[in-house]
Amino acid sequence: MASAKTTSQTPTRLVKPLPKGTIDSHMHIIPPDFKRFPLQAAAQYKPTPHTLSDAKAFYTQQSGLGIAKPRMVLTQVSIYGNDNSALLSGIAALGMDGRGVVQCDPTNITVEQLDTWWQQGARGVRINLVSIGQSIMEEELLLLLQAYIDKLIQTRMPSRDKKWVIEMFLPLKSMPSLLNVLPKLKGGEKVRFCLDHFGGLKFKDDAPNFGPNADPYLIPGFNELMQLITNRSFPEVYLKISAQYRVDTSYPSQDALQRLDPVGRELLRRAEDRLTWASDWPHTRFENIDSVPFVESCYSWCGEGAEGDARREKLFRLNAERLWDMAQSA
C-alpha cells in the first residue's frame, strides 16, 4: 500500500492533528536479515522484524496518528548490544528526517568513532538497564556517566549549542542516585541527558495502589525526577513522555489513563520545556498498542487555547528539535 502524500490523505482518529513537523523521539527498527544484523548472544528476547517501511506505515496508515511525513529518532534496541549497524542503516535511509541513539562501551570506544557516528546522524548514546534487568549502585553510576562524558566532550562539535545526549533507561528508584550524581560530573554541562519512558515509572512496582487524582509526589522517586528536569542549575535533563503501556500494563483501560493523568499534568505544569513525546514503536514485547488514547491524554495535559497549543508544539516538536539537533521543520 502506498504511503499517504498529504495530511488530508492520511487517516487519523485524533480529535485534532498533531503539530506539523512532529518528531517521534523513540522508536526502533529490526531488519529481517539476522545474518547481516545479528542479535547479541545475551539478547533477552527474539524479535519480530520491523523495517523502516513498517515504521513509516505505522505513522501514515496504521496508528491513527496521521503523520504524513514521519521524523524519527531511532534508538538502539537492547538485543543488538553495541552493534549499531541496523540503526545506522535506518538513519542513512531517513536522511534529514532521522537521528539516532547508539549504544557503546565508553571504556573502549574511540573519539574518532563517535565523530563518525555524529556525521552519520547519531546524536545520543544509550544506557539501558531496565530492558536487561540490571541494577547499578550510585558510585557505579557516577563512574559510568563520567566515562561517557570524558569521551563525548572530546569530539569535534560543530558549535557550542550542539551537544551529545546521554540517554538513560533507568528504574524510577534510581532517580535519587542520579540526582546526587549529576552535580558531581565534570563536564556535565557540555552534554545533555534524556530519561526514557516517564523516568522508568512502573505503577505495579513503584505505586501499586496509586489511583485517580492521587498525588504523584507520593510515588517514591517522583520528587527527584521532577528536580532533575526542573533544576536549571543542573546540566540539561529531558524526559520522554512515552511507553505508557510499560508504565501501566492495563493501558488503554480507563483506569490506566486515570492513573497516568495526575503524573502527566504535573509534568506539563512544571517542565514543559524539558519534555518530548515518543511512540516507542514497535512496542517491543507488547502487542496491539493503540497510540491514540495516549496522545489525546497528552493533549489534555497541555491544556486549552493558545497556551495549550504552545505546549503541544514544545512536546511534539520544538523540544525534540533542540534535543536531537534536528532542523526546524519547513
In angstroms, the CA 182 to CA 119 distance is 28
Task: Tally the residues of the chain.
Answer: 330
* pLDDT tens per residue, range 254-305: 999 999 999 999 999 999 999 999 999 999 889 889 999 999 999 999 999 9
pTM: predicted TM-score of the whole model, two decimal places: 0.93
Residues of the chain with pLDDT > 90, as a percent, come to: 78
pLDDT at 223: 98
Give the model's pLDDT for residue 324.
Answer: 98
What integer pLDDT is reported at residue 157 of this predicted model?
87
pLDDT-based confidence at residue 85 (cuts at 50, 70, 90):
very high
Q: Are 237 and 274 in contact (CB under 8 A)?
A: yes
Name, in order, each residue with C-beta under 8 angstroms of 58's C-beta and a sequence gap of 6 or more.
Answer: 279, 281, 282
DSSP H or E stretch at residue 294: helix 292-302
Worst-scoring range by mean pLDDT, 65-74, 82-91, 145-154, 302-311? 65-74
| Average pLDDT of every residue of the chain | 92
Q: 74: helix, coil or strand?
A: strand
Q: How far apart are CA 306 and CA 284, in angstroms?
A: 36
Q: What gap in Å lies between CA 270 and CA 7, rounded to an integer?
A: 32
Nearest CA to 241 out of 24, 60, 46, 86 is that of 24
pLDDT digits (tens, 9 = 90+) for 20-54: 999 999 999 998 888 888 787 777 777 789 999 99
**Is residue 50 helix, strand or coil?**
strand
pLDDT, residue 313, reads 97
pLDDT surpassing 50 at residue 141:
yes
pLDDT at 1 over 50: no
* Cα atoms found within 13 Å of the Cα of residue 31, Cβ hemisphere only: 17
What is the pLDDT, as a whole number, of residue 7? 36
Residue 48 CB-half CA count within 13 A: 8
